[in-house]
Structure 1
Amino acid sequence: MQITRFGHAAVLVESSGRRILVDPGVFSSPAVFELDHLDAVVVTHQHPDHLDRDRVGALVAANPEALLLADPMSAGELGGPWQAHTDGDRHEVGDLVLRGAGRQHAEILPSLPIVDNVGLVVTAPGEPTFFHPGDSYATTPEDVDVLALPLGAPWAKVSETVEFLQRIAPRVAFPVHDCTISALAYDIYWNHVVNHGGVDDVRRLDQTAGTEVLLAGEDA
């Protein structure tokens, strides 16, 4: 499995010969909207940092065969060919299974409406299991090997981030949702994850970095 970040919450997952893109938003690098040969594009929720409405159309046009999945609210707004993706839904893309995980965005303020948020679990025989939760710590799928960990957000605090990481207990974790953290303050958040999260392999990928994840016993 190859993981590549494209800024903030946007992640490209390449596994079993398939390419799955998650959350191309307004904070994503421009390169994410130039990707082609995608097998699926998945949007966890409607907020602009996860869905750039102005640029997603060109991405879809460049990938006409891609499966397009989004939370129900976003799918309803975007219209066909986007399909609503709900908690527990399964879609097969080659050997990959894409499963919805979760229902609602974490609360930001009591006065703000809570929108749909459906995270993504990616599995395949012989491959690590990947989880991108979108904007929520509420759902904890079992047997996650690779976690895209939201590091900083208006809806989160560090103790919740660390507790979520401990509950998921992945083999590998890397940060997402971190454009909201300044470079000067980044170590404050990251060091708490490293020192208290209980995960040995935490990888501080920058906004456009990639990493290869192998199952135990495999050779690089």
Structure 2
Amino acid sequence: MKLTKHAHACVTLEKDDTRLVIDPGAFTPDAAEAVAQAHAVLITHEHFDHFDEKLVAAALDAQPRLHVYGTAAVAAALGGGDGRVHAVAAGDTFTVGSFSATVHGHRHALIHADIPCPDNVGYLLDDGAVYHPGDAYFAPDAPVRTLLLPTSGPWTKLGEAADYVRALKPERVIQIHELMLSDLGQNSVAHLLGENGLTGTAITRLEPGTTVEL
């Protein structure tokens, strides 16, 4: 499986000629190009930095093969898509080409009591090969080999991120949702959370456009 890191929370996953794009949002400059090559788009929640509604709707119109999976709010925003838009929730499973997916979690992490928390789901692919949690530190009751770890945003907290990695014990951690951190901030987080820091697990920082084998 290949993973390509895009800006912020968006990644592309490729295996056996099947492409998935997770969370193409407004903070990802090349989101349209990524989605144009996808067989499916997976959306964790409705916030604009994870879900560019106009972009995904246009892609559904332009790409007859494209399927979209997301929360009920995401599905409602897109309409039926001729049966190609699927509302998912915790406990659901589905397949796209050679990928298998299970859905985990319920709610976005708390930002403030005055700000509503939308539904948020995480996607665990291929029996734990990679997990994208969206905007929540929800730990699925299943092994996770590669964790995509959010490290910046109004809801994140370094101590909670450390405990999350400790709880999941992944083999590999790749930093995502990092756009609100400067270069110094990203390196600081990787050091504090990483192999010689709080978790004992190396934190990989990938520049947008970088592709790695998982």
Equivalent in the alignment of 2:136: 136
Length-normalised TM-score, structure 1: 0.88
TM-score by length of 2: 0.90
Q: Which residue of 2 aligns with 1:24?
A: 24
* Contact in 2 for aligned 1:169/1:198 (Cα 8 Å): no
Deviation at 1:39, TM superposition (A): 1.8
What do the CA deviations read for 1:26-75 (whole angstroms, capped 9, x no partner)?
A: 11122x31233422101100001001123223333443212210111211
CA distance in 2, matches of 1:190, 1:49: 22
Partner of 1:212: 213
Question: Structure 1 residue 41 and structure 2 residue 41: aligned?
Answer: yes
SS in 2 for 1:9: coil
- 1:111 is aligned to 114
Instruction: Tell me what 2:200 maps to.
Output: 198
Is the Cα contact below 8 Å between 2:42 and 2:69 reproduced in 1? yes
Residue type of the partner of 1:199? T
CA distance in 1, matches of 2:123, 2:49: 17
Once residues 204 and 95 of structure 1 are traced to their aligned partners in structure 2, the CA distance between those partners, rounded to angstroms, is: 27
Q: Deviations over 1:125-163 (max 9, x none)?
A: xxx611000000023342111111101121111011111
The answer to whether the 8 A contact 1:44-1:118 is kept is: yes
Which secondary structure does the structure 1 equivalent of 2:51 belong to?
coil
Local SS of the residue matching 2:159: helix
- Is the partner of 2:190 in helix, strand or coil? helix
SS of the residue 1:50 aligns to: coil
Contact 2:88 2:103 (C-alpha < 8 Å) held by counterparts: yes
**Greater mean deviation of Cα atoms: 74-83 or 159-168:** 74-83
AA aligned opposite 1:206: E
Q: Note the C-alpha offset of 1:171.
A: 1.1
**Residue deviations 1:55-109, cap 9 Å, x none?**
2233334432122101112112221122101101111123321211111000000
Mapping of 1:1-220 within 5 angstroms? 1-30=1-30, 32-35=31-34, 36-81=36-81, 82-123=85-126, 129-194=129-194, 195-200=197-202, 202-213=203-214
> Percent identity among equivalent residues?
30
Q: Do the aligned partners of 2:151 and 2:177 also contact (CA within 8 Å) in 1?
A: yes
Say which SS state the counterpart of residue 183 (structure 2) adopts: coil
Secondary structure of 1:108's counterpart equals: coil
- Partner Cα distance (2:37, 2:55) in 1: 17
| Count of aligned residue pairs for this structure pair | 208
Q: Which amino acid aligns with 1:185?
A: G
Deviates more, 1:105-114 or 1:35-44: 35-44
Cα distance change of structure 1 residues 88 and 115 upon mapping to structure 2, 3 Å threshold: same
Q: Tell me the amino acid that sits aligned with residue 116 of structure 2.
A: P
